[in-house]
Structure 1
Amino acid sequence: MEIYRLRYPDQLNIQLHHAYSMAIGFFDGVHKGHQEVIDSAKKKADELGIQTAVMTFDPHPSQLFSGRNVGYITPLEEKVRLLEALQVDTLFIVSFDWDLASLSPQQFIDIFVKGLGVKHVTAGFDFTFGMKGSGTMKEMHDLSEGLYGTTTIQKVTYDHDGKVSSTKVRQLLSEGDVEEAALLLGRPFRTFGEVVHGEKRGRQLGFPTANIQTDEENIVPANGVYAVYCLVDGKWHPGVCNLGVKPTFHNPEHRVATAEVHLLNANMDLYGKQVAIEWLHRIRAERKFESLEALKEQIGKDKQTAMDLLNG
């Protein structure tokens, strides 16, 4: 997959040798709704005998306008991996800044559609572009001057009437419902981080854990205990993960949540390694225990539950 980083107005001159059927959107999560948009663009590319392209933006527009952390479902590196797995030929990553946000719909189309040799544009029904989001897929079609076609994908639903959306995925993860989130994503939810030194409490309790520090920009599930898989040096290991503030030892009001993974089939030195966690099942909510013995007993039960769930 060819990757081009574009920024208006000073980073637009790139050598392009193809015509494109382009899917456009932010695509946070690359969930089933996004996949339908991209699949439609691929089918049109095959029909026209041209390449499939995706255009996404960095950072999220809401981050620019609100100044607040959005909570990414898929950090950019993961989004790139997923798009490559969907067999996209070319990825355009456009810097979303105030210069871009000030463009009119016509200017946006002239630069980022016609200027890139796009012959067909596919997007979701709620995609907007240009100043204050004033451009819709109707404007995308009306301003084409016959140089490209357009396809608008209507909302993708689940359970008959629920819209598949990044907002819904975030809601499910905030509730700890990683199984339902996986249905919308079409795969288990995945997070990334570096293994750092912790307090060694897991080792003292007989269950050594890897403390995984994740980027604050990226969303994590609700606090609790989960059955997970952990990717270490290219190999997946089953595990049980406690995500939270360890209320048995700390005041929850003064503690940032951390992920502690106990591998079920391996005992290795992970410090400094970059790992991924796939969240498969939520076992229980995080809670405070009255004694270390009670905590230790519960951890043993959680480990067995995780083994049963992952083996099942």
Structure 2
Amino acid sequence: MRVKTFRLSQSSAHGLRTIEPSVAAVGFFDGVHQGHQAVITKAKEKAASMNTKSAVMTFDPHPSVVLKKGKVHAHYITPLREKEEILDSMGIDYLFVVTFDQALAQLSPQQFVDDFFVGLNVQHVVAGFDFTFGHKGKGNMEQLPELSQGRFSQTVIPKVEKTEDKISSTRIRAVLDQGKVDEAIELLGRPYVMQGIVVNGERRGRTIGYPTANIDVEHDYYVPKIGVYAVIIHVNGHSYPGMANLGVKPTFEGDREPNLEVHLFDFDQDLYGKQVRVEFHVMVREEKRFDGVDALKNQLADDESQIRHFFA
């Protein structure tokens, strides 16, 4: 991986004063969607023109985990590892991952600037028009020229829209909630992905002619609406089309938490223990309970025909 990742806290940022100068795109960037990409691409272009390193500064965990009492964890469109892989593919040099904790939340806007921009030798900051920082988000991009005290410059990226509405992580979560993964593709600029390890399942699919790879999804991915999807699996450098059931298998005893299992077309290799990436392309139907195995098999045959046609 090309991108070099630095894990930082409020107390450790000053330890990197000797790092090479950079132009930093700053934001939470959950999804690294097309709006985020506009910010990051501008930072990369600016870094090239200034002959410095390109950097992205993000935060972990999501601020809501720290600021909302009782919230234990968050679910992400792009968990940190996924975000890191995307930024690596974009050719970013540095990834600054700032730990969001109570100490960070209490920093004044000036202290945030001193610690995380000046302290990291950032020569130019690029952020979206709505980026805020410091205690209760009191710092904003309009104040940044004053807070920088001439120590670095800045660029503000205006709102990026799709169909006359702002592209945002909130909007992407909303379309995922509706199963509209095809709309998510338009906003992200790529298919929505979940990664995990193939594990042993109940092997019930084999008995009805539809063996599946049961995937233990890693990280805290945001889970789309349960249902049946046209997907492509990437494993060992190859890609294979298939159909995924994201759900609780109500025809049988059912599960409490949604599981992801994928039937790959024209595929008979052993995937147990393999790391896989599942791309979601379109939802074909909601999950439903069937009166028996024969009704389920008939529906699966219809699903397969529809999905093969989609990929054809």
Coarse TM-score class (shorter-chain normalised): over 0.9
Letter in 2 for 1:82: I
**Percent of aligned positions that are identical:** 47
CA distance in 2, matches of 1:179, 1:16: 45
Paired residue for 1:94?
A: 98
Tell me by how many angstroms 1:14 deviates.
2.9
CA distance in 1, matches of 2:21, 2:229: 46
Paired residue for 2:123?
A: 119
Tell me by how many angstroms 1:80 deviates.
0.6
CA distance in 2, matches of 1:65, 1:117: 29
Paired residue for 1:259?
A: 260
Tell me by how many angstroms 1:2 deviates.
2.0
Letter in 1 for 2:296: L
Does 2:144 align with 1:137? no
Tell me by how many angstroms 1:228 deviates.
0.4
Letter in 1 for 2:41: D
* SS of alignment partner, residue 282 of structure 2: strand
Q: Which runs of 5+ in 1 are unaligned?
A: none
1:6 touches 1:12 (CA, 8 Å); kept in 2?
Answer: no
1:105 touches 1:139 (CA, 8 Å); kept in 2?
Answer: no
**RMSD, aligned CA:** 1.5
Paired residue for 2:304?
A: 303
Does 2:195 align with 1:189? no
CA distance in 2, matches of 1:151, 1:163: 19
Does 2:296 align with 1:292? no
- Between stretches 46-55 and 296-305, larger displacement belongs to 46-55
**Residue pairs, 1:138-153, within 5 angstroms:** 138-153=142-157
Paired residue for 1:269?
A: 270
Q: Residue 173 of structure 2: which of 164, 170, 173 is its match?
A: 170
| TM-score in terms of structure 1 length | 0.95
* SS of alignment partner, residue 86 of structure 2: helix
Tell me by how many angstroms 1:262 deviates.
0.4
Does 2:18 align with 1:6? no
CA distance in 2, matches of 1:12, 1:144: 16
**Alpha-carbon spacing, 1:217–1:131, altered in 2? closer, same or farther (3 Å):** same
2:16 touches 2:119 (CA, 8 Å); kept in 1?
Answer: no
Paired residue for 2:239?
A: 236
Q: Which runs of 5+ in 2 are unaligned?
A: none
CA distance in 1, matches of 2:219, 2:157: 32
CA distance in 2, matches of 1:210, 1:15: 48
2:33 touches 2:189 (CA, 8 Å); kept in 1?
Answer: yes
Does 2:159 align with 1:158? no
Dislocated runs of 4+, deviation >6 Å: none
CA distance in 1, matches of 2:261, 2:237: 19
Does 2:202 align with 1:199? yes
| TM-score in terms of structure 2 length | 0.95
CA distance in 2, matches of 1:64, 1:121: 25
Tell me by how many angstroms 1:63 deviates.
1.6
Q: Deviations over 1:58-114 (max 9, x none)?
A: 111112212243210011111011111111121111111111111111111001001
Paired residue for 2:279?
A: 278
CA distance in 2, matches of 1:216, 1:59: 12
Paired residue for 2:42?
A: 40
1:241 touches 1:262 (CA, 8 Å); kept in 2?
Answer: yes
* SS of alignment partner, residue 133 of structure 2: coil
Does 2:226 align with 1:223? yes
Does 2:60 align with 1:58? yes
* SS of alignment partner, residue 288 of structure 1: coil
CA distance in 2, matches of 1:20, 1:167: 29
* SS of alignment partner, residue 6 of structure 2: strand
1:119 touches 1:148 (CA, 8 Å); kept in 2?
Answer: yes
Q: Deviations over 1:258-277 (max 9, x none)?
A: 01100113112222222110
Paired residue for 2:24?
A: 22
1:173 touches 1:220 (CA, 8 Å); kept in 2?
Answer: yes
* SS of alignment partner, residue 28 of structure 1: coil
Tell me by how many angstroms 1:235 deviates.
1.5
**Residue pairs, 1:60-79, within 5 angstroms:** 60-66=62-68, 67-79=71-83
CA distance in 2, matches of 1:150, 1:275: 39
* SS of alignment partner, residue 69 of structure 1: coil
CA distance in 2, matches of 1:82, 1:10: 25
